[in-house]
Structure 1
Amino acid sequence: ASPFADKERPEKGEHFVTPVLVCEVIFTEWTPEGKLRHPRYLGLRDDKPAREVVREKPQS
């Protein structure tokens, strides 16, 4: 689900796009606000369509 699903309408200067690119990132953890802590971009992926991307569970 979109993190913007609860917003009634975009604020001034905001616009929504359809995701088409997939990138891989590593990070320390999810914050209580649902943001990434210390994210690091690893690169684009061409092996997975954007519509198949889901929030993954942490690995132990």
Structure 2
Amino acid sequence: TRVEDATRKSGFRLLGDVDYETVAPMCSWITPVPGGVGPMTIAALMKNTFLACSRK
């Protein structure tokens, strides 16, 4: 979501599915975007791909 932000040079900032700063105090676990679970998802996908290929 594009939100107006006068502190940014562009005049706006991008938000993900939720406003991280608002919901973080209410959550047990939360990951930021970017830098969340994406790298682990990619690593697991590659591992499973190599495993499937080796079993073929």
| TM-score, normalized by the shorter chain, greater than 0.5 | no
- State the TM-score, normalizing by the size of structure 2: 0.23
Higher strand share: 1
Structure with the higher fraction of residues in helix conformation: 2
Higher relative contact order (CA 8 A, sep 6+): 1
TM-score by length of 1: 0.22
Larger Rg: 2
